[in-house]
Amino acid sequence: VFQMAWPIEGMPRAVKLVEVGPRDGLQNEKKNVPTPLKIEFINRLSQTGLPVVEMTSFVSPKWVPQMGDSFEVAKGITKHPRVSYPALTPNMKGFERALEAGVDEVAIFGAASQSFSQQNIGCSIEESFERFRPVCEAARANGVKVRGYVSCVLGCPYEGPVAHRSVVEVTKKLLDMGCYEISLGDTIGIGSVGPTRSLLRELKAEVPVDRLAVHFHNTYGQALANIFVALMEGISTVDSSVAGLGGCPYARGASGNVATEDVVFMLDGLGVETGVDLDLLVDAGRFISDALGRQSESRAAIAIESKRISMAEHRSMAEELSAKQAQTAGTADNARMRQCV
């Protein structure tokens, strides 16, 4: 895909993309993807240049059946030396299982909303920290990195608006517990440019910006605009999901994550380095979309695939025309030869 790059002053020169499709994406899909296809999906993503592929979640299959094969997935993928493969571990049982599977980076997830915390993990915000503390301690003892998530940073499906102060406090506590980075999740995709900028500026006053990442859902079509604002505020780590997979099983109405293809297309146009091959990314998105029997939610992917089909049709027509011309020329040559005999 050819694009002119238009660098903007204040924009980071490079962005780290965290691909969450295999975990956050597939956990909310109605169709359960067979384990071999999940493994192949992750292996394809590993070849695109993505630096991080969140591969699975070690949670109870009773509550999230789509992640019931987490151990098999973690053991079955082909790990690329330049790719990190974190897994979600909400408690010690999940962490121990992940450690057994050879996982060297885990993620924990809290919420800025009390109601969402109760619905999502069955406890209050303060109680969630008590669950996370032993995970962080065990991770530190085993040399395992820990990433933190904060859900509902711009709005909650049960409480409505969420106070920025709550987001700041939860973020600081997760950092104090040992998380190297905090991903700020707009779980229901309600955020827009103004609230996003306001939240980030309040966070930056108390938290180093290089410890923050953003995670936008695209329910209201605002994800790319919010990412742009985040980049202008100094954020250089962005979560996304190939083909726009996902949503949230505990947030009714939340659509999928922002599509990785769309984010890469935007960043390419801004002259921001990602290291990601967009064509290979589109191929990976097509692979998992076909496995799910659904259309990709990525506008960029749809446009690129449409262009591929058009180009293939033009090539086919050109080849057919060339063959006909060659046939016509051959017939004429034969006629001339008969006349000369």
Which positions are catalytic? 248
Strands (E) located in 52-141: 52-53, 56-57, 87-88, 105-111
Nearest residue to 223 (alpha-carbon basis) of 251, 254, 268:
254
Rounded-to-integer distance, Cα 234 and Cα 223, Å = 17
CB count in 10 Å sphere of residue 204: 15
Rounded-to-integer distance, Cα 295 and Cα 290, Å = 8
The pair of three-digit structure tokens given for residue 169, joined into one six-digit string: 């406090």
CB count in 10 Å sphere of residue 303: 15
Q: Hey, what amino acid is at 1? A: V
Rounded-to-integer distance, Cα 32 and Cα 211, Å = 34
List phi, psi (to 5°) of 237. -130, 125
Sign of torsion over alpha carbons 308, 14, 182, 94 = positive
The CA-atom distances, in angstroms, between 197 and each of 191, 200, 201, 204, 294 are 10, 5, 6, 10, 34
Contact criterion met (CB below 8 Å) for 136 and 147: no
The CA-atom distances, in angstroms, between 310 and each of 313, 316, 328 are 5, 10, 27
Helix residue spans in 211-254 (DSSP H): 223-232
